[in-house]
């Protein structure tokens, strides 16, 4: 384990369901195993904010790291930070200088204009090629992430971002120091836009894989956390479990997070049945998505491992 953690990059984005708060808990499960099993490769097939990615790859002797995500906006942010962080910082500095001095009503007008511009470019935007517009779009994404309600990323069926403005007195829109650290860190990471199953070819017995898929909703209002225009239904959860078993047979070290249905229905054994034979732990997490304070608090989440 790397001793000096004073200059480590942190995740750039706030993310609903992000795992920063659970890192200490997670580490108790994999700390010794990463060394004992001689793990050299880290794979995260659902990148999200990358909290576990940033933690493991910077603190342990990982030689190769790979991330995938089906969200093209997220992919673009990581790609731009890796390729041209200086241009991104310039864009974010401009947003911060213009936005922070505004009063509440002017901030609303500014925010919704950025959101409109972000959505207007969507239909004709080329995510696969690298071009100057990607830097602008990454900047817009980070601005919206830092100023929207709870840092939530939610889109409708057309893929349009539709989260309202948040209520922050002094949001940190441009964290230059951390962006520079993230730029250096991401030089070690292979970034891919695509389905989680595309990770198959790089996974072997020296690989640690962490899955953080879209969570199974605990109730109908949980769909507020929908993170792409593609649904992740029970059918997709079952397909993911099949892939998990495939990688288990391959000899990889596996860990997966998901919601715990027993928070609302003690008789709901969906994941207990789906991952029968694996180790299923229930860990406490604080979730703050609901706009009503009384609906926030500590709940149980699942941590499923093959060790």
pTM of the model: 0.91
The reply to whether 143 and 288 lie within a common domain is no
- State which of 116, 146, 177 marks the end of a domain: 177
Residue 73: predicted pLDDT: 94
Residues 87 and 60 in one domain: no
Measuring CA to CA, which residue among 216, 294, 218 is closest to residue 262?
218
Q: How many separate domains does the chain show?
A: 2
Instruction: Indicate the average pLDDT of the chain.
Output: 91
Q: Please report, rounded to a whole number, the percentage of residues in the chain having pLDDT higher than 70.
A: 91
Per-residue pLDDT tens over the stretch 195-231 = 999 999 999 999 999 999 999 998 755 544 455 556 7
Q: In 10 A of CB 302, how many CB atoms?
A: 20
Residues 66 and 96 in one domain: no
Note the pLDDT tens digit of each residue in 169-196: 999 999 999 999 999 999 999 999 999 9
Contact 304, 253 (CB under 8 A): no
Write the DSSP assignment of 30-74 as a string of letters. HHHHHHHTT--EEEESS-TT-HHHHHHHHHS--SEEEEEES-HHH
| CATH number, domain containing residue 92 | 1.10.1020.10
Residue 65 sits in a domain whose CATH number is 3.40.50.150
Domain shared by 95 and 29, yes or no: no
pLDDT digits (tens, 9 = 90+) for 246-286: 999 999 999 999 999 999 999 999 999 999 999 999 999 88
Quick check: is 247 in a domain? yes
Q: Is the residue at 182 inside a domain?
A: no
Domain assignment present for 2 = no
Q: What is the pLDDT of residues 95-152, one digit of tens each?
A: 999 999 999 999 999 999 999 999 998 877 888 888 889 999 999 999 999 999 988 8
128 burial (CB, 10 Å; 0-12 / 13-18 / 19+) is: exposed
Residue 5 has pLDDT above 70, yes or no: no
Are 94 and 152 part of one and the same domain? yes
pLDDT above 50 for 306: yes
| Residues 28 and 173 grouped into a single domain | no
pLDDT of residue 126: 85
Residue-wise pLDDT tens digits, 281-290 = 999 988 654 4
Q: Report in angstroms the alpha-carbon separations of 207 from 44, 118, 202, 232, 255.
A: 10, 37, 8, 25, 11
Whether residues 41 and 93 share a domain: the answer is no
CB 206 within 8 A of CB 38: yes
Task: Give the model's pLDDT for residue 292.
Answer: 47
Cα distances from 301 to residues 33, 85, 229, in angstroms, run: 22, 35, 24
Its domain, for residue 31, covers 20-70+194-305
Residue entry with tokens 């891919």: 192
């Amino acid at each position: 384990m790397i001793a000096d953690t004073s200059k480590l990059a942190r995740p750039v984005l706030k993310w609903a369901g992000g795992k920063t708060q659970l890192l200490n808990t997670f580490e108790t499960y994999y700390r010794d195993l990463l060394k004992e099993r001689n793990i050299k490769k880290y794979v995260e097939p659902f990148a999200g904010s990358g909290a576990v990615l940033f933690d493991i790859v910077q603190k342990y002797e990982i030689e190769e790291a790979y991330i995938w995500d089906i969200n093209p906006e997220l992919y673009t942010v990581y790609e731009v930070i890796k390729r041209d962080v200086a241009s991104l910082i310039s864009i974010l500095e401009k947003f911060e200088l213009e936005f922070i001095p505004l009063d509440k009503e002017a901030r609303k007008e500014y925010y919704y204009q950025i959101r409109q511009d972000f959505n207007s470019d969507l239909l004709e935007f080329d995510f696969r090629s690298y071009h100057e517009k990607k830097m602008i779009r990454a900047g817009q994404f980070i601005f919206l992430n830092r100023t929207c309600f709870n840092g939530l990323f939610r889109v409708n069926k057309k893929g349009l971002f539709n989260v309202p403005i948040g209520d922050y007195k002094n949001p940190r829109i441009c964290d230059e120091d951390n962006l520079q650290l993230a730029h250096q860190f991401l030089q070690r990471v292979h970034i891919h836009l695509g389905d989680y199953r595309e990770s198959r070819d790089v996974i072997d017995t020296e690989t640690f894989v962490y899955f953080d898929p879209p969570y199974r909703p605990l109730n109908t209002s949980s769909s507020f956390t929908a993170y792409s225009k593609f649904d992740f239904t029970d059918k997709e959860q079952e397909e993911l479990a099949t892939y998990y078993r495939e990688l288990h047979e391959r000899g990889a070290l596996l860990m997966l997070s998901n919601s715990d249905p027993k928070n609302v229905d003690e008789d709901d054994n969906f994941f207990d049945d789906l991952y029968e034979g694996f180790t299923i732990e229930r860990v406490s997490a604080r979730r703050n998505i609901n706009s009503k304070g009384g609906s926030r608090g500590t709940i149980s989440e699942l941590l499923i491992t093959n060790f």
